[in-house]
Structure 1
Amino acid sequence: MSVRVGILGATGAVGQRFIQLLDGHPTFELAAVTASESSAGKSYREAAKWRVGTPIPDDVAEMEVQPTAADALDDDLDLIFSSLPSGVAADVEPDFAEAGYVVSSNSSNDRMAEDVPLTIPEINADHLGLIEVQRDERGWDGALIKNPNCSTITMVPTLAALDEFGLDRVHVTTLQAVSGAGYDGVTSMEIIDNAIPHIGGEEEKMESESRKLLGSFDGAELSLHGAEVNASCNRIPTLDGHLESVFADLADDPSVDEVAEAMEAFPGIDLPSAPEQLIHVFDDPMRPQPRLDRNLEGGMAVAAGGIQSTANGIKYNCLAHNTIRGAAGASVLNGELLVEEGWV
């Protein structure tokens, strides 16, 4: 089965990751790329300042860039991936869904909307049921589905593994790579020999999105998880890979070994881009590290380590590749889930 897909915002950093990940995909055939008006009409090679570490696929390089508008795009597409800036996406994505397109989006707008699925396939695939609610309420033939923020998606799989012990409260401090801000997001003069102890909007995203992802869906509405989540987000001079220190208060009192076993045994999902093992746990207290562990299972796995007991629960470190598992790869995986579940 071949599923024809398009990418909105294909020339940006995340858009380029989409192209890299879709090259040779067993199900998805990239049939359209869009960008701003200044790029429309050019070949992709001309429009994109290519910065991914593999060459532009030859067939994509010569593809004509189309305008990012629902009435200008080929309607013979089964699925659209969006990597648009959130301000643009908030206006554009609903137009595509209303026009009948199914949109798997990495953009931050509407993630917390009550009728929009915010999905990590291994964690809450059942939340796709919100698509029916969304279509009923908005009158759409298409649909809008989101993956979470890159820092949220690093932590939430480990929290899902801990939930069996009664997850009460979470405190997390992040050390986030510069690629999370986009190529032009942080200048070298800001970040070299430095750390920036604030990332605008990031803490709020982690605190709210985590509770939605871990929440329960009864077929009609979604209830947020009851855990309190507090985040402190920091930018550091690594290129890729968000490292996070998590302190989780638990109702039960599991041992370090029980926590490690719960993380390693947390079930994955049988989709083409999914890692065989979602969470890899290191015994070495010096791991995980961005340079060593961000590319586990093609950048789609989460690494954890440094697990220790605390007075109220457990503390540990976790890591994921922020532009693969935390962005384009997450949207691709959601797209695969949409196909598997019959929404596409």
Structure 2
Amino acid sequence: MTVRVGVLGATGAVGQRLIQLLEPHPEFEIAALTASDESAGHPYRDVAKWRIDTPIPEEVGEMTVTATTPEAVPDDVPLLFSSLPSTVGAKVETPFCEAGYVVSSNSSNARMESDVPLVIPEVNGDHLEALEIQREERGWDGALVKNPNCSTITFVPTLAALAEAGIGLETVHVATLQAVSGAGYDGVTSMEIIDNAIPHIGSEEAKLETESRKLLGEFDGTALADHEMEVAASCNRIPTIDGHLENVWIETSEDPSPEEVREAFAEYPSLSLHSSPEPLIHVFEDPERPQPRLDRTVGDGMAIAAGGVRESTFGIQYNCLAHNTLRGAAGASVLNGELLVEEGYV
């Protein structure tokens, strides 16, 4: 069965990635595109400044963009993918859920609310059970699910792999080297970033530190208890186009060898969902890998690349990488949508 879906905020950078992934998707059919009031009523091709390196799908280009309101989206489109700016998402996602739509959202608003599942399907798909609480407490027929920040998605699967292998996580330090596409097309000017690195990304450190603990937390059917590990993050913008590279230091209750860490990464399972890659974590033996230009498209851009595993005075140090607009944004929302369908929430 094909599910008719819509994209909220379809003209933006993540909205374009969503269209790129959804148009050939075997389980989804794009049936609604929304954007600002200025774009509503016009063919998508005329209002989207297309930045993706593949052409606009012909049928999508001819679709008429609607306003971002529940009244403008057909009732037979049960699943919506939201790529709205968080300030807009905070205002409009709730009305869609109240109207009965299921929203898989990349927007940062509401990620840390207790009854809103923050999900990486391979890591904590069981947290979707919180939707029963969400619907009961809020009186919604619809539902709201979030995927994490792109930088959080990059390193949390590696932490989950270690936890799954019985390696107790106590302290995590992470330094990110984040691509400019993470700031959006107009987010960082060339004069700022060329021949430069910017050692601060507003609110990014807090997202890494809080979202990771929620993702690795335990849901007992009534409430979620965050993971007790301590996380400290430092975030840097560097002049790469796509691909967030992260340096991670972990302190554990055990004393794993680098070989045991690499084995835990390599053996961590993916899922039988269309967008979940096999393997989920691609492990490099070469200490110079992963690199953004070479490795951001492993697993069609949906895998996590890891390497440089070694002992350090702090514990274990390693590097990991993910494509920030595929695995870290649009692809993450699509994967959550696949899980929502498989688990019967759509």
Structure 1 gaps of 5+ residues are: none
1:182 correspondence with 2:184: yes
Looking at structure 2, the residues matched to 314 and 129 of structure 1 have their Cα atoms a distance apart, in angstroms, of: 34
Report the AA paired with residue 264 of structure 2: A
Give the total of aligned pairs: 344
Looking at structure 1, the residues matched to 114 and 219 of structure 2 have their Cα atoms a distance apart, in angstroms, of: 11
Q: 1:295 aligns with which of 279, 285, 297?
A: 297
Aligned to 2:16: 16
Counterpart contact for 2:249–2:314, Cα < 8 Å: no
SS at match of 2:317: strand
Q: How does 1:254-269 map to 2 (within 5 A)?
A: 254-269=256-271
Aligned to 1:317: 319
1:6 correspondence with 2:6: yes
**1:43-62 Cα shifts (integer Å, max 9, x gaps):** 00001000000000000000
Looking at structure 2, the residues matched to 219 and 8 of structure 1 have their Cα atoms a distance apart, in angstroms, of: 30
Query: Runs in 1 of length 4+ with deviation above 3 angstroms?
Result: none
Aligned to 2:60: 60
Looking at structure 2, the residues matched to 65 and 72 of structure 1 have their Cα atoms a distance apart, in angstroms, of: 10
Looking at structure 1, the residues matched to 159 and 153 of structure 2 have their Cα atoms a distance apart, in angstroms, of: 10
Return the offset for 1:311: 3.5
Counterpart contact for 1:304–1:319, Cα < 8 Å: yes
Structure 2 gaps of 5+ residues are: none
SS at match of 1:165: coil
Looking at structure 2, the residues matched to 229 and 59 of structure 1 have their Cα atoms a distance apart, in angstroms, of: 45
- TM-score (norm. length: structure 2): 0.99
Q: How does 1:128-207 map to 2 (within 5 A)?
A: 128-163=128-163, 164-207=166-209
Return the offset for 1:78: 1.8
1:327 correspondence with 2:329: yes
Looking at structure 2, the residues matched to 195 and 304 of structure 1 have their Cα atoms a distance apart, in angstroms, of: 23
Aligned to 2:105: 105
Counterpart contact for 2:175–2:235, Cα < 8 Å: yes
SS at match of 2:202: coil
Report the AA paired with residue 259 of structure 1: V
Looking at structure 2, the residues matched to 251 and 161 of structure 1 have their Cα atoms a distance apart, in angstroms, of: 15
Counterpart contact for 1:9–1:82, Cα < 8 Å: yes
Return the offset for 1:71: 1.8
Looking at structure 2, the residues matched to 270 and 230 of structure 1 have their Cα atoms a distance apart, in angstroms, of: 33
SS at match of 1:173: strand
Aligned to 1:25: 25
- TM-score (norm. length: structure 1): 0.99
Counterpart contact for 1:250–1:312, Cα < 8 Å: no
Report the AA paired with residue 153 of structure 2: I
Aligned to 1:211: 213
Counterpart contact for 1:6–1:30, Cα < 8 Å: yes
Aligned to 1:235: 237
Looking at structure 2, the residues matched to 178 and 254 of structure 1 have their Cα atoms a distance apart, in angstroms, of: 35
Aligned to 1:273: 275
1:82 correspondence with 2:82: yes
Residue identity over aligned pairs, in percent, reads 70
Looking at structure 2, the residues matched to 297 and 173 of structure 1 have their Cα atoms a distance apart, in angstroms, of: 24
